[in-house]
Amino acid sequence: MTLQDYQSELNGYYQNSTCATEYGGVRRQKHARSLGLNIQPGERLSVTTRQFSKGKWVVGTVNADKRLFIFGCSVPSQPDVSIGWVEEVDPITLETIRQSPELITGGHNWCGGAAVLADGTIITGFGNRIHKLTLDLELIAELELPVDHAHNGISLLSDGMMITRNLEHDHSKKSVFTIFDPNRLKVVKTVEFIGASIGRFCVDLTLEGEFVYATTPTHIHRLIYQDQNLILDENWNASYDLPGEDQSFAWCNTVGDDSVWFMDMGDTPPLKTIMRAYPVGTKPMAFSTPKRAPVRVHRVSTTDCSSVDAFTPFGLSDGGHAASPLYVQDRKIILAFDTNNRKTGAWRFNGPGEYEKLWVHDIGNSNQVFYYPDTGEVMLDDVLEDNNVDAVVVDIETGQEKGRVATGACYAAAMAFYPGFDRDFYSTSGAHGLLYRVYVTKK
């Protein structure tokens, strides 16, 4: 059975934190470590927002000792502006307490990542740079990565090293993984991947070994991490390329119930312009022709890669999203969504090829969702027909809507939700520059 990040100590990450790293842990299971909202009759959701200055891409939050840090970078399509940044903000009002210096990105404009490590330092990844800061946002050190490109995701490995990988939209090229030491901020190893990769990878430490799962435009592969090196597992890979289907690549993946889960149709129209620019994200925005297939959830057994599913949850053409599904191992539920067609739903996984529909709603979720294990509540966003965005909380078993509030955001953000401290959570509108806190109040 797959280990659960929310039930582990998350060794190497800051312990007094409800969110020390993206997606709740290296397996990207998106389960909160904090108590749920537990919304009761007579209660509702309220929101506090803060609009950042034009040109700032507000990406996400991490926290430590009930101190909230927001990180971000420069919005794509700016040829002459490219910085990363971190702010400590008041967890209630969202106003600035302190700011980091401007962080060099190598000129690339793409949402990076951040984590708070056990030693009380913040590690950020923007463009082709890694930065190490104190909790008071003083810059300790900077590392220039070997690949001059934007990178996606930074994760800890079991030996204390960290791993990142550049994004490659050009299918004729190959992405590169970089292993680095966060203590010395030195590169340890670079490993060329088997193909181009966009979505964030996940790391799964098991009794059999430590594995990294990553997708190419047509396949998912596994790499074995050992002795500060990555080796492609020649005995484990699976295709998600379906003959005759006008598909596009998968975004991030996650692991649960001894399977890796991901969704195809991730190549949304602006991405080609952003990702194929050099430096990344420096050309004016343009929209490419989208693919026509429906969104599918793909499952591949981690113990037998011939055991695969390609499940079509909604069956609507012109599907699209920029995230990974949520798999809840404790309840054997897969939650999937199609942002383009405004559909979100949940199914019981009863074994290979067996998916029992629980509910489907007209909710246009664009974010990485987050789940509260103790209450069964799921945080979603809903991009409405007029492009305004609501934050929505539903029960994962029944689909019952427990709360909804207008966030003030517009358009699909394709960002994430982040658990807060006391019946609250945070999210952003990404390139539109809004940070918001959603919390429970009396009606």
Dump pLDDT digits (tens) for 190-222.
999 999 999 999 999 999 999 999 999 999 999
Which residues lie closer than 8 Å to 323 by C-beta, 6 or more apart? 251, 252, 263, 337, 365, 366, 367, 368, 369, 414, 416
Query: What letters, b where the CB count within 10 A reaches 16 and e where it falls short, cover 392-423?
Result: bbbbbeebeebbbbebbbeebbbbbbbbbbeb
- The CATH number of 5-442 is 2.140.10.10
55-92 pLDDT, tens digit per residue, is 999 999 999 999 999 999 999 999 999 999 999 999 99
Q: Is the peptide bond before 279 cis (omega within 30 degrees of 0)?
A: yes
pLDDT at 268 over 90: no
- Residue 201 is predicted with a pLDDT of 98
Tokens of 84: 């990363």
CA distance 240 to 107: 34
Q: Please report, rounded to a whole number, the percentage of residues in the chain having pLDDT higher than 70.
A: 100
**pLDDT at site 270:** 87
| Residue 203, token pair as written in the block | 């790391």
* Residue from 370, 327, 368 nearest 349 by CA: 327
| Segment 302-352, tens digit of pLDDT | 999 999 999 999 999 999 999 999 999 999 999 999 999 999 999 999 999
**What is the rounded CA–CA span in Å between residue 144 and residue 185?**
9
Burial class (CB in 10 A: 0-12, 13-18, 19+), 208: exposed
In this model, does residue 114 exceed pLDDT 90?
A: yes
Bridge partners (DSSP) of residue 133 are: 122, 139
Nearest Cα neighbor of 68 from 1, 20, 8 is 20
According to the model, what pLDDT value does residue 354 have? 99
Handedness of CA 181, 185, 191, 194 (dihedral sign): positive
Domain locations along the chain: 5-442
Question: Quick one: pLDDT at residue 285?
Answer: 84
Longest distance between any two alpha carbons in the chain, whole Å: 57
The residue that leads in pLDDT, 152 or 63, is: 63
The answer, yes or no, to whether residue 34 has pLDDT greater than 90, is: yes
Kindly state the percentage of the chain with pLDDT values over 90.
96
Give the closest residue to 106 by CA, choosing from 165, 70, 147.
Answer: 147
Q: Are 111 and 59 in contact (CB under 8 A)?
A: yes
pLDDT at 269: 84
Alpha carbon distance 162, 228 (integer Å): 10
